[in-house]
Chains A and B, each alone.
Chain A
Amino acid sequence: MIAKVQIPVPERRAHEYPHQLSGGMRQRAMIAMALACKPEILIADEPTTALDVTVQAQILDLMQQLKEEFGTAIILISHDLGIIAETVERIVVMYAGKVVEEGPSLSVFDAPKHPYTKGLFKSRPKIGERSQYGRRRLLEIQGAVPNLFQLPGGCAFHTRCVEAVEICRQTSPELISMSDNRKVRCHLATL
């Protein structure tokens, strides 16, 4: 397993303690542990957030290779849209404890339907964008994530939503299915 996660000189490394390894190698060791019993699902919670960007690229590539080799399904939890875009096939967007949008990656990135997803995509600068097209003002999502103990009534996002209408304050929307395997939890999607 240690060789599978591409740690050099595995025979020697097997006898070492975590503090003797670099951050990237520790994360490789974690992946080896997780895959040791041939699981059907691997859940990776922010697997590269603590790593430097050049090491992050190595780890993401490794996960992709192992997924193909072992046929393991992966649930990748991340706040980094770049990592999501390059790794996953299907996306679930969550807000305040609920799924607000779901669908195939390409389709969601091309045409986000929930105002929260739209806001997230527009609030991050894109790499190379300013160099090519100049600086556009970043879209801000107003306010902050609400306290989960005191969620606003109706749709939990309505207090920050630029598109909110009266019904959003009254009732919480259902997750509705749409074409192209997409789902969205927003009153406006049905209007």
Chain B
Amino acid sequence: MIDQRETSRSKPPLVEVQDLKVHFPIRKGLLSRSGGLVLAVDGVSFTLNEGETLGIVGESGCGKTTAALAVLDLIKPTAGKVLFEGSDMAQMSSSELRKLRREMQLIFQDPYSSLNPTMTLNQILNEPMRIHGLYPGKERTERIAYLLRKVGLTPEQGRRFPHELSGGQRQRVGIARALALNPKLIIGDEPVSALDVSIQAQIINLLIELQQEFKLSYMIISHDLTVVEYICDRIAVMYLGRIVEMAPYSNLYRDPKHPYSEALISAIPVSDPRVKRKAPMLQGDVPSPIRPPSGCHFHPRCPKRVAECDMRSPQLKDIGEGHLVACHLI
């Protein structure tokens, strides 16, 4: 009976985000008169399945980090829902949320400011387990040594302080800390952007190996489209708080459908002197999310806009093979 029920009902995705909105009020002066709203995330929906890697790309201010913070419940959404394994995080009690936090961890961009300089690596890795009361006594010492080895450091290095390590080694510590509680989901916010080119490869290879070993799900936020293509299974392109296109990596890079994705991909310099980049497709900068353009947010910069684009904002449409596009021309 029970078996039947389990097989007939398909497992919910690990994370499901439904029409998420995060709006920040702008306060002016001491009397906090409202100066309008920043529409940081404005109606975003996506799912992340177990063992999958979802990339979120876009230019600065497009809301990719805010969306990730809302998934982690570090920012309260203005509207919309975040479901973790099918249950609504907004409905959870604080003790349920606390348990859930073990399952989701964050890797930061800057390996210099994200480690406490007064703690040794052993202490840094001890913290999450101490806070959650996991792996007591000798087990914990063993787990710290195990974590250090897993990320390519030695247990002897556990007595060192962050300043004694290189940037790449520090990022390994940040990854070990994220692994400490055996999470299901790891969110990487620009996990390799602050590292030297020669070190990036080490960290990217490590992330992929750990994912295979621990069946992790990743959400990778990055402006580096080359790295995202390499790591991610599926990629969401964001522009001014909205997802404009979402597709498996090969569909997106071979055949981007949204004019913004196309422009973004064609703007990446190719490391081959024989390949000549086309003239830039986009003029101007990303507009402010405080007063975003009407209709499709991208229309003032879009080389293909039609009359409809500044009147109605397009919905994400499924065009097959898991490829979704929000553009009136599709």
Contacts and interface: CB of A to CB of B under 8 A. Distances in A.
B118 interface: no
B89 interface: no
A23 B285 contact: yes
Interface residues of B, number: 48
Interface string B148-168: 000000000000000000111
Contact of A57 (B168, B249, B275, B277): B277
B197 A130 contact: no
Contacts of B283: 58
Contacts of A56: 267, 269
Contact of A138 (B168, B201, B225, B253): B201
Nearest to A104: B273
Nearest to B227: A125
Interface string B219-253: 00001011101100000000000000000011001
Nearest to B267: A57
B197 A120 contact: yes
A109 B272 CA distance: 7
A94 B279 CA distance: 30
Interface in B238-296: 249-250, 253-254, 263-277, 279-286
A177 B295 CA distance: 60
A138 B284 CA distance: 35
A24 interface: yes
B120 interface: no
B198 A123 contact: yes
Interface string A18-36: 0000111100000000000
A52 interface: yes
A72 B218 CA distance: 46
A4 interface: no
Interface in A132-159: 132, 135, 137-141, 144-145
A191 interface: no
A80 interface: yes
B169 interface: yes
Contact of B204 (A24, A126, A138): A138
Interface string A51-81: 0111111101100000000000000000111
B286 to A, nearest CB: 7
A127 B250 CA distance: 11
Nearest to B206: A140
Contact of A60 (B166, B253, B269): B269
Contact of B59 (A52, A81, A83): A52
Contacts, number: 140
B205 interface: yes
Contacts of B45: none
Contact of B280 (A57, A105, A121, A128): A57
A124 B200 CA distance: 8
A23 B227 CA distance: 24
A54 B197 contact: no
A88 to B, nearest CB: 8
A140 B205 contact: yes
A90 to B, nearest CB: 11
Contact of B230 (A55, A83, A85, A125): A125
B226 to A, nearest CB: 5
Contacts of A181: none
A106 interface: yes
A85 B271 contact: yes
B270 A82 contact: yes
B196 interface: yes
B229 A127 contact: yes
Nearest to A25: B285
B60 interface: yes
B302 interface: no
22 contacts: A52-B60, A53-B225, A54-B59, A54-B282, A55-B59, A57-B282, A61-B279, A82-B226, A86-B269, A86-B277, A105-B273, A120-B198, A123-B198, A123-B200, A126-B272, A127-B225, A128-B254, A131-B229, A131-B254, A141-B202, A144-B166, A144-B199
Given A57-B280, A123-B201, A139-B201, 4 more contacts: A81-B271, A123-B200, A127-B268, A138-B204
